[in-house]
């Protein structure tokens, strides 16, 4: 259990660093926002191709950011379960999550059989 907590906290730290490199945390919404390309907002862009390319970068950052964000949510979720003492319990059937599964994925929210039932 303690081992898993350490693993989760380490992964959380890494994720937060990655998030910081891609965007910034909006304290008002509680969400991570992709760093806007300041040129796009402040300047008239004459070259459409360049503009599209940069917009794509922003899209890419946004989607990467939300993927990281949902992983971070899973980790926070798992950490708070450790706090309240129901870590390792499947969110769908209430059964115990397999040891091997927790080993591979300490932030797993369900048992093997229910892994596709949670979005």
Our finding on whether 89 is near Zn ion (CB under 5 A) is no
Q: Of 10-18, 37-45, 48-56, 108-116, which segment contacts Zn ion by CB under 5 A?
A: 108-116
The dihedrals phi and psi of 23, each to the nearest 5 degrees, come to -160, -165
* Nearer Cβ to Zn ion (82/92): 92
The enclosing H or E element of 13 equals: helix 2-22
Asked if 93 interacts with Zn ion (CB under 5 A), we say yes
SS3 10: helix
Residue in 4, 92, 101, 115 binding Zn ion, rule: CB under 5 A: 92
Q: Which is nearer to Zn ion, 65 or 108 (CB)?
A: 108
51 binds Zn ion (CB under 5 A): no
Axis crossing angle, helix 48-84 with helix 2-22, rounded to the nearest 10: 160
Q: Does 118 bind Zn ion (CB under 5 A)?
A: no
């Amino acid at each position: 259990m303690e081992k898993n907590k350490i693993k989760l906290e380490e992964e959380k730290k890494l994720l937060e660093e990655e998030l910081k490199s891609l965007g910034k945390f909006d304290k008002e919404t509680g969400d991570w926002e992709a760093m806007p390309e300041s040129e796009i907002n402040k300047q008239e862009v004459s070259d459409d191709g360049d503009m599209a390319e940069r917009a794509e970068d922003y899209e890419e950052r946004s989607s990467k950011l939300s993927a990281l964000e949902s992983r971070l949510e899973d980790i926070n979720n798992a950490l708070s379960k450790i706090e309240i003492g129901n870590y390792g319990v499947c969110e769908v059937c209430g059964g115990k999550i397999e040891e091997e599964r927790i080993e591979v994925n300490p932030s797993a929210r369900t048992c093997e059989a229910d892994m596709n039932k949670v979005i």
